[in-house]
Amino acid sequence: MTTQQGVIPQRIEGQGAAPAHTHMAQEHEHDHYHISHHHRGGLMGEWEHRTYWHTHDHHHRELAHSHDYSQQDEEIHHGKEAHTHDHAAPVEAMPS
């Protein structure tokens, strides 16, 4: 199911150590990480994580979730989390 703006409603099934909560959409800047999977070849299909980082303004859409660490740790360590966003327009298409 999608809304008029194409945003899919979120729900939380189960609950981690931190109660279910919602982060409102936001735009900000900090050094952030991206992870890619690199196939090293071979018959077993070995993979390795390749990490890169950079800084620019970017947005986060509204996010409803739960997790097994404190909300305080989540806020403090946000910049260390891998991020996904559109690099062609990292601060566009925010829901109104």
User: What is the DSSP secondary-structure string of 11-64?
Assistant: ---S--SEEEEEEPPEEEEEEEEEEEEEEEETTTTEEEEEEEEEEEEEEE--EE
Give the number of domains in the chain. 1
Q: Which residues of 82-92 are buried (b: 16+ CB within 10 A; e: fewer)?
A: eeebeeeeeee
- pTM, entire model: 0.56
Region 67-93 average pLDDT:
75
Residue 48 included in any domain? yes
Name the pairing type of β-strands 63-67 and 18-23: antiparallel
Give the pLDDT band of residue 87 (cuts 50, 70, 90): low
Q: Residue 75: give the domain boundaries.
A: 22-80
Residue 17 included in any domain? no
Region 16-27 average pLDDT:
86
Model confidence pLDDT, tens digit, residues 32-78: 788 889 998 888 878 999 988 888 888 888 888 888 988 899 888 88
Mean of the per-residue pLDDT values of the chain = 79
Region 74-90 average pLDDT:
72
Residue 26 included in any domain? yes
